[in-house]
A and B are shown apart, each in its own frame.
Chain A
Amino acid sequence: MGLLSSSTSFVRYSVEGTPAPNFWEFAAERISSFAFRDIDDSYEERSIGWVSILNMFDAEFAYASFAAGDHIVLTMRIDERKVAPKVLKKFCLKEEERIKKERQIPKLNKSQKLEIKENIQLMLLKKAVPTPATYDLCWNLSNGTLLFFSTSQKAQEQLEDFFKKTFELNLVLQIPYLTAEHLLDDQERHKLAEITPDILV
């Protein structure tokens, strides 16, 4: 459900802050620094970075540039190793049973259980295959607005953090009231601030 999908969902942001001078040069350098790094062959738990909107394996933008007219188009890719809670619980219990039998003790204390949990989690994470998630964005540089193609609050929070790290600019979600502020003049904005919910029946 991205920019080029036949059916898509998105929210709008306003990009706030002063862009760096020579912005295209700055953007190219920052996108390259924050490009996605594969973790399939390592044990890292999570990786986040920019890829091409046409190909999630293209972090060098060989298939399509991130520039389209006055817009920057990117995909934020997040790969994460996850362990299902039920799987973690099963292997923890199995290990606890093994240790109790080995040491011939009736039960384990809290700190022993915690240590087992940490070790098992690490062992299972190393075995887990990273799950990818991709989210497109389209940034209109001429009017400082950005479309983000996800309505997930978690994805939006990840975008806000990662966008700030990359471009040193803030994103503000355009809820109706903030959109309204952009559409009205000063005098009208004062009136808008004063209105309260009306009863329509």
Chain B
Amino acid sequence: MDLVDLIAEKRFLGQEFLTWLWFKSDERGGTVYLPGTGDITLVFEKHMLLESGEGESHEKIVCQGLQSQLQEARTGLSMGKKLEQTRIHMELGEYEYHLTLKGSLFEFRSVKPPKTMEGSDESDDPAAVEGRILDRIGLLETATRTIDELFRLFLKIRISPEWRDEVTKIRAWINRAGAGQAV
């Protein structure tokens, strides 16, 4: 299958991952337990894009609201939409990231990595330049590796019989949100 067909046919995978991740984070008040790493803070914030359907029946909604309950987005979920794009605040130990993740293509947008001592050395000395570049690469690769580990966690459940139980929990979470109750 070529890439264009694969993107269209498997579009749901990244969207279901983001929707699941939102549920996972919300379930534990903004933290997700990542085996091997421990608890990481994941707050869904500011900007969300949800979509459903294909072709002529394609619909999308954009919701904004800094750290709000994102009630409209939750209502969108209850109408069968899935999360296509979201802004996430992620804390890994002392490091804080802000990034926007696009589900269908796994695009990382407007990524703000933490500021570090190494990264603040502005000198033109080749060793300092290389240090600055490696520091930035390390920070970005830490973010992508963490998202990959979260994705792996999702995939293991998604392809297992446990997924049915997980869907039941997600449905209950969405229905509570749809009914306008505090989640």
Contact = CB atoms under 8 A, between A and B. Distances in A.
Contact of B134 (A68, A173, A198): A68
Sort chain B's interface into a size bin.
35 or more
Contacts of B140: 3, 8, 10, 138, 147
Nearest to B1: A177
A159 interface: no
Contacts of A199: 80
Interface in A1-20: 3-4, 6-12
B78 A201 contact: yes
A116 interface: no
Interface in A138-173: 138, 140, 147, 151, 172-173
A54 B136 CA distance: 13
Nearest to A183: B152
Given A64-B126, A175-B3, A6 B133 contact: no
A138 B141 CA distance: 10
A63 B155 CA distance: 44
Nearest to A73: B133
A31 interface: no
Given A73-B133, A188-B159, A201 B104 contact: no
B148 A201 contact: no
A68 B133 contact: yes
B137 A175 contact: no
Contacts of A53: 133
Contacts, number: 134
A176 B82 contact: no
Given A188-B155, A200-B167, A64 B79 contact: no
A84 B91 CA distance: 46
Contacts of B14: 175-176
B126 A65 contact: yes
Contacts of A177: 6, 10, 13
Contact of B133 (A3, A173, A191, A192): A3
A57 to B, nearest CB: 15
Given A63-B124, A175-B3, A201-B171, A180 B133 contact: no
Interface in A49-103: 53-54, 63-65, 68-69, 71, 73
A151 B82 CA distance: 21
Interface in A174-201: 174-180, 183-184, 188, 191-192, 195-201
Interface of A: 3-4, 6-12, 53-54, 63-65, 68-69, 71, 73, 138, 140, 147, 151, 172-180, 183-184, 188, 191-192, 195-201
15 contacts: A3-B136, A64-B130, A64-B133, A71-B133, A71-B134, A147-B144, A151-B102, A151-B109, A175-B105, A176-B14, A180-B13, A180-B151, A180-B155, A184-B159, A200-B174
Given A184-B159, A196-B12, 19 more contacts: A4-B133, A9-B109, A10-B111, A11-B107, A11-B108, A69-B137, A73-B137, A140-B137, A173-B3, A176-B104, A177-B10, A178-B6, A179-B106, A179-B151, A183-B148, A183-B155, A197-B12, A197-B16, A200-B82
